[in-house]
Amino acid sequence: MTETLNIPPRWRAFIRRGSAMVWLSGAALALSLLMMVGLVGYIAAKGLGFFWPSSIVQVQTSEGPILGEISAQEKAHGTDPAKTQFRVCNRDLFGQDYRWVPSADIQDPQRPADAVLVERLENGPFIGFIQDGSSGETLVLRAVDGQTLEIPRKHIVRIVPSNALGVFGKSRVYASRLWEFVAGDPRESNTEGGVFPAIFGTVMMVLLMSIAVVPLGVVAALFLREYARQGWVIRALRIAVNNLAGVPSIVFGIFGLGFFIYTVGGTLDQIFFSQKLPTPTFGTGGILWASLTLALLTVPVVIVSTEEALSAVPRSQREASLALGATKWQTIWNVVLPGALPGILTGLVLAMARGAGEVAPLMLTGVVKLAPSMPLDASFPFLHLDRKFMHLGFHIYDVGFQSPNSEAAKPMVFMTTLLLLLIVLLLNLAALRLRSRLRARVGGSSF
């Protein structure tokens, strides 16, 4: 048999040593890592370049002069000639932000040093020249086709003379734009400005979810592992819990809408807020209901990892505690739970990663495109659990697919995605750090 196969001895040794599997598994790991790096790199490259001031180019075409940033170029496809896309801005004058021009039609490209990009509170940015900057109240701007525009200075966010700026000047603009993005409020139906309310909403929702999911999951796991008599009922229950993790998230959203909002919220409104009815207080979507819905969604993760952590606490330690006259609950509280805490936090990390990335159930339970106020502010009672909130995941969807100007919003989508990744990473790092500190405190053991 082996003779007929006639494998060279070198290869036979290679297979016998198991080197083939080592290479195969290593390659699979490398491939998945490469894909991760590629994904993050792609998002970063698409998003991070957006804030860097690009040069403003003036060209002559058969349809008149064009002034703007070159945003894309397309090669010729069959009968379609090569085209260049300019970001011309001046939506209020031209009616559109972008223009495609056949590349062959472009003549005499220049970079006028006095061209400026003016970021405004309304109508998107303006690209053109400053006609008259003498007044303290208003600024007179001239577009490339000669139209002039007078806008109040207080509507101006910043003026960027891109062509005149050196690397240092551009870096300052970059930093200032980045800061506005992270710490500012959104403008122009979310396509401009910042995403701070969405960051705040995401973090707060994840924290509220954590507060809800950990006790719920831990108590459920305690029952399953410590109190319940192990048998087929518990086995079936455990399988059901594991399968719960695979239920599509929108189903949880529907449950949250039906149970939390209509049933629980509606009842709360009738009992405590009846004077405000028919305007609902808790009977409508809000951060509390969204967090609780996500807590339900992620509770199987916490249950499974808590159960594993509980079963990893050595039997000898439970016996030591019981032999000293501790009750079952004292043993669980003083010995089992502290020993299982790192494992419980692993579950929390997984739950947070899942929860922070969910969008579908939130759309039914309280996330909005633009929240008028934050769920946490200086007015009594400070924490407003009934308020609607903004969320980065939903922000991506909204800006990318629901925005009136989706072409202009594309870089915002990438930036917001990058930010969402970063926030999930930060939340996870915080939980991991907490876990390693706890591990150190419980004695550096590996269970």
Q: How far is the CB of 237 from other proteins (least distance, A)?
A: 19
Nearest to 117 by CA among 169, 153, 69: 69
Cβ distance to other proteins smaller for residue 80 or 319: 319
Distance CA(364)–CA(256), nearest Å, equals: 8
Is the separation of the CB atoms in 392 and 371 below 8 Å?
Answer: no
Cβ distance to other proteins smaller for residue 278 or 443: 443
Element (H, E) at 341: helix 337-357
Cβ distance to other proteins smaller for residue 310 or 335: 335
Cβ distance to other proteins smaller for residue 270 or 330: 330
Write phi, then psi, for 33 (nearest 5 degrees).
Answer: -60, -45
Q: How far is the CB of 341 from other proteins (least distance, A)?
A: 10
Q: How far is the CB of 326 from other proteins (least distance, A)?
A: 4
Distance CA(419)–CA(258), nearest Å, equals: 32
The angle at the Cα of 287, spanning 203 to 245, to the nearest 5 degrees, equals 75
Cβ distance to other proteins smaller for residue 55 or 330: 330
The residue type found at 24 is L
Give the neighbor-by-neighbor strand order of the sheet with 107-110. Answer: 98-102, 83-87, 64-74, 57-61, 107-110
Q: Report helix angle 167-183 to 196-222, nearest 10.
A: 50
Cβ distance to other proteins smaller for residue 167 or 324: 324
The residue type found at 264 is V
Cβ distance to other proteins smaller for residue 134 or 316: 316
Is the separation of the CB atoms in 360 and 253 below 8 Å?
Answer: yes
Distance CA(39)–CA(235), nearest Å, equals: 39
Q: Where are the alpha helices (DSSP H) in 88-195?
A: 91-94, 167-183
Cβ distance to other proteins smaller for residue 278 or 325: 325
Q: How far is the CB of 225 from other proteins (least distance, A)?
A: 15
Nearest to 72 by CA among 83, 59, 88, 61: 83
**What residues pair up with 67 in beta bridges, in sequence order?**
58
Structure tokens at 335: 């010995």
- Tokens 């009616």 sit at which residue? 95
Catalog residues that contact other proteins under the rule CB under 8 A.
314, 316-317, 319-327, 330, 334-335, 338-339, 441-445
